[in-house]
Amino acid sequence: MAFAIGQFADSSMPVDRPMTRRLPQLQAVVLVGFMGAGKSSVGLLLAQHLGWTFEDLDHRIEQREQQTVAEIFRDAGEAGFRRAERKALKESIDGLRGGTEKVIALGGGAFVQDSNVRLIEEASLPTVFLDATVDELWQRCRRQAEQCALERPLLGNVQTFRELYESRRPHYAKASLRHETGGKSVEAIVAELIQALGLLPNAKLGEK
């Protein structure tokens, strides 16, 4: 999938700032960002390049709950979905103890929940905020809704989408790294992330 993304709306944040902390034993990279940020497509390709496992947290939630995300929202509301999301994230992080290396793509609201951020921080996992303009994010989500019949319970309309993005952005900004995806292909983004994180294909952080 090639992104044709516009320019980033807010120049107040440093772009692609390098990670200041090198982790001794990297076991996972966690991708965060709003709906349509490309977390799943970038995560899958990044994992393939690294020879790591790719895990889409929404997929894990659907498997453990035996319901789609949309069904969980319908039956249990957003609060019920967030509970399931936290359990799935904990399971995913606990699974790293077995030595599996993973790229984990979070759903758009997961990194907004303090308890999830704590779980990630306790495991010392680096987080990457994939960003784009809200207009581009909206266009991508609309396209995915039409082409893949992807149902996003919190998609709303362009106005509510924008407001939700703005309210969440300060949370995403706490990620270890922000990566601008504007005008870049998934392949280019992955190559840049490998570089920015100090990773080599099939290697651990720091094993350059």
Positions that interact with ligand S3P (CB under 6 A): 35, 39, 58, 69, 107-109, 152-154
Cβ 98 to ligand S3P, closest distance in Å?
25
Q: Could you tell me the two tokens for 68?
A: 């789609």
CB closer to ligand S3P out of 52 and 111: 111
CB closer to ligand S3P out of 102 and 198: 102
Cβ 175 to ligand S3P, closest distance in Å?
14
CB closer to ligand S3P out of 33 and 198: 33
- Start-to-end Cα distance in the chain: 29
The residues pairing with 55 across neighbouring beta strands, listed in sequence order, are: 104
Cβ 39 to ligand S3P, closest distance in Å?
6
CB closer to ligand S3P out of 26 and 120: 120
CB closer to ligand S3P out of 36 and 198: 36
Cβ 114 to ligand S3P, closest distance in Å?
15
Cβ 179 to ligand S3P, closest distance in Å?
16
Cβ 192 to ligand S3P, closest distance in Å?
21
CB closer to ligand S3P out of 57 and 197: 57
The set of residues, in sequence order, having a beta carbon less than 8 Å from that of 37 and lying 6+ positions away, is 31, 108, 130, 131, 132, 137, 181
**Closest residue to ligand S3P in the complex (CB):** 107
Q: Is 193 left (phi over 0), alpha (psi -120 to 50) or beta?
A: alpha
Q: Annotate 68-134 with DSSP letters as a single string.
A: -HHHHHHHHHHHHHHHHHHHHHHHHHHGGGGT--EEEEPPTTGGGSHHHHHHHHHTT--EEEEE--H
User: If you search the block for the tokens 């034993």, which residue do you land on?
Assistant: 25
Distance CA 135, CA 142 (A): 11
